């Protein structure tokens, strides 16, 4: 199979990348892979790299794993691909310390925004996990999980008490966004439910 020229394929994906439309990027990547396969061609390596990275960002680890498995061996040997996959393995095993360490490097343009976003989302995820699961955690472990040497500032911002070598986290509540924008639709659907149940 012959790989297609990267420039012709990447444009719609680059638009998604610039707009930070991660699910759109994933969708475009999947469509590109399939349409190339339909003509018995290989999608460019950058497409696979971006798709793998966006799966990690969306925490769709199962699909990331199968993308890695079906990737041509020549693409797997590329250094960047291997590095992205190593981060995926750390996320799979929930080894936050190692994930941060591996994220810290310079990335090529087609994945850099994704890796920056991944690092930020990893930071938020660790704070959520620690806040929900621990009443007391060692500062050393927290700094390892956050990939930061000094966690005092981060703790102060969140209102977590630092007590010597330990931190007392608090539950991190996500913002709740009500999806009920339209009361009339809501009322209509409730009415139809009640009439079904009563008849």
Partner 1 sequence: GEFEPWGHCSRLVLWLLQVARMTSALQLVDDFVSGCRILCLENKHQSAALRAAKDLPGMNKSVSRVDAAFEACTSSQFTVIMVTLLAAKAKYAPLEDWRWYAAQVQAMVTVADSSLVALVRDMYDFVIHEVARAYMEHDKPAMGIPLIDAAIRRIQPDLRRLTPIHADLCKLCLAAKNFKPALAFMDTDIEDLAVDENGKFDAESYLLYFYYGGIIYCATKSFQRAALFFQAAMACPTSVVSAIMNEAYNHLILVSLLVDGKAPRLPRYVTTAAQQPLPIYTRLAELYVQGSVADFLRHVESNRAAFEKHSTYGLVKQVRESLFRRDILRLTKAFVTVSLADVARRANLRDADTAERYLRDMMTRGEVFGTIDQQAGAVRFHDNPEHHNSTEVAEQMEKRISDSSRTLSLLSSLARVADVNPNYLRRKLDIATQNGSSGAFAPETYTDKDDVDFNMGF
- Nearest distance, CB of residue 174 and partner 1, angstroms: 10
DSSP state at residue 93: T
| Degrees to nearest 5, angle at CA 65 with 64 and 71 | 85
Residue 5 or 177: which CB sits closer to partner 1? 177
- Nearest distance, CB of residue 155 and partner 1, angstroms: 15
Structure-block tokens of residue 100: 């941060």
Q: Are 26 and 51 contacting, i.e. CB atoms less than 8 angstroms apart?
A: yes
- Rounded-to-integer distance, Cα 191 and Cα 184, Å: 11
- Nearest distance, CB of residue 34 and partner 1, angstroms: 6
Residue 104 or 181: which CB sits closer to partner 1? 181
Positions in the binding site for partner 1 (CB under 8 A): 30, 33-35, 37-38, 40, 62-63, 66, 69-70, 94, 129, 132-138, 141, 166, 176, 178-180, 189, 192-193, 196-197
Residue 12 or 131: which CB sits closer to partner 1? 131
Residue 104 or 171: which CB sits closer to partner 1? 171
- Nearest distance, CB of residue 130 and partner 1, angstroms: 9
Cα dist. 23→60, 96, 114, 166 in Å? 11, 23, 12, 38
- Rounded-to-integer distance, Cα 9 and Cα 47, Å: 8
């Amino acid at each position: 199979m012959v790989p297609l020229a990267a420039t012709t394929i990447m444009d719609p994906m680059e638009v998604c990348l610039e707009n930070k439309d991660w699910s759109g990027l994933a969708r475009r990547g999947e469509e590109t892979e399939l349409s190339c396969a339909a003509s018995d061609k290989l999608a460019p390596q950058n497409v696979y790299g971006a798709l793998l990275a966006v799966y990690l960002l969306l925490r769709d680890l199962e699909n990331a794993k199968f993308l890695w498995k079906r990737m041509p061996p020549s693409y797997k040997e590329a250094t960047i691909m291997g590095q992205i996959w190593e981060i995926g393995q750390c996320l799979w095993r929930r080894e936050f310390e190692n994930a941060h360490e591996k994220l810290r490097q310079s990335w090529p343009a087609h994945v850099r925004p994704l890796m920056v976003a991944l690092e930020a989302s990893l930071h938020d995820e660790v704070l959520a996990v620690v806040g929900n699961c621990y009443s007391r955690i060692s500062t050393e472990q927290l700094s390892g999980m956050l990939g930061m040497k000094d966690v005092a500032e981060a703790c102060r911002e969140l209102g977590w008490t630092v007590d010597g070598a330990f931190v007392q986290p608090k539950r991190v509540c996500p913002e709740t966004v009500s999806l009920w924008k339209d009361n009339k639709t809501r009322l209509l659907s409730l009415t139809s439910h009640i009439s079904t149940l009563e008849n």
